[in-house]
Amino acid sequence: MAGTDCRKWLIAILIVAAVARLTVVLVFFADYRPRDDAAQWQRAAQNFLNGRGLIVSEDLKAYRTPLPGLYIAAIYAIFGPSVRAVQIVNAVLGVFSVWLVYDLVRRSFGIIPALWSGLFVSLYPLLLFYTGRLLSEALVILLLVPFQQSFET
**d(Cα 148, Cα 73) in Å, to the nearest integer?**
27
DSSP state of 134: -
pLDDT single digits (tens) 111-140: 999 999 999 999 999 999 989 988 888 888
Q: What is the band of 2 on the pLDDT scale with cuts at 50, 70, 90?
A: low
Which residues fall within 8 angstroms of residue 25, CB to CB, at 6 or more apart?
84, 87, 88, 90, 91, 131, 132
Distance of CA 138 to the CA centre of its chain: 3
pLDDT at 15: 97
Q: How far is Cα 121 from Cα 131, in angstroms, rounded to an integer?
A: 12
- Tell me the whole-structure pTM to 2 decimals: 0.87
Whole-number Cα distances in Å, 113 to 16, 36, 46, 99 = 17, 38, 42, 13
3-class SS of residue 68 = helix
Residues ≥6 apart with Cβ < 8 Å to 85: 75, 76, 78, 79
Task: Indicate the number of domains in the chain.
Answer: 1
Range of the domain at 13: 3-149
Tell which residue, 3, 7, 8, 14, has the closest CA to residue 122. 14
